[in-house]
Amino acid sequence: MTNNSTSQAEPKNAQKIKLSPSTLGMLKDCPLCFWLSFRKDINLPAGIFPSLPSGIDAVLKKHFDIFREKGILPEELKSTGAKLFNDMDLLKAWRNNFKGIRWEDKNGNVLRGAVDEILEKDGKLIVLDFKTRGFPCKEDTHEHYQDQMDIYNFLLRKNNYETEDYAYLLFFHPTHLNGGGDFVFERTLKKLDINVKNAEKIFTSAIKCLEGDEPKPGKECGVCEFVRERG
């Protein structure tokens, strides 16, 4: 009996868990959907992913790389008093969705995240993330990305890089078309204080959830509510 129990318990910890800011976001939305995705390979239906934000993201990265080559800071970042991270090879790896900034805990579980841009100031790194919106930012819009920014800084520090206790989010939203038919975007730079302890707490909660029994669904999870109503 003892051998059988041990054998049945092994799968919970045998497969190493690979997490990212987006998958950890799923945990916050609904622990059950998160658990089912990893433990039972039952995933939420994938919607149509808009290509416009990723296209703008690629253009912005090229934009900043041009300034990096010139050794100067673009106008939209001059208020930061920082400079662009100058290790392009390392930044390419950190930007890559299949590589990113990676950290492995003592049990082999992996947390990984891909950044948009990195700044440097007084020997410390600062995470900069691009966001595209259809409307101007509200007063607290940037605060909705707290967990994501905390995780990026947590990863950098786990890789022995010093980071500032804040990050930046650069928002773009369209305002109008000019006479030539080109979209004009307004930009808004927001500073966000970061908390790496929050990131560590989220990661620990995720591992605990996945190593435990089936959790309860999130209170506002539309998928779980739909399943319950269908019976």
The CA-atom distances, in angstroms, between 99 and each of 17, 28, 92, 103 are 16, 24, 9, 11
Reported as half-sphere exposure (CB side, CA atoms, 13 A), residue 16 has a value of 10
Residues 149, 180: Cα–Cα separation, whole Å:
37
Domains and CATH numbers, the chain: 16-230 (3.90.320)
The CA-atom distances, in angstroms, between 225 and each of 41, 116, 124, 169, 218 are 20, 35, 45, 34, 9
Quote the pLDDT of residue 44: 73
pLDDT at 78 over 80: yes
Residues 44, 83: Cα–Cα separation, whole Å:
40
- State the pTM of this model: 0.88
Return the percent helix, strand and coil in the chain, to nearest 5.
45, 20, 30
174-217 tens-digit pLDDT: 899 998 889 898 999 999 999 999 999 999 999 999 999 999 99
Tokens of 217: 């669904």
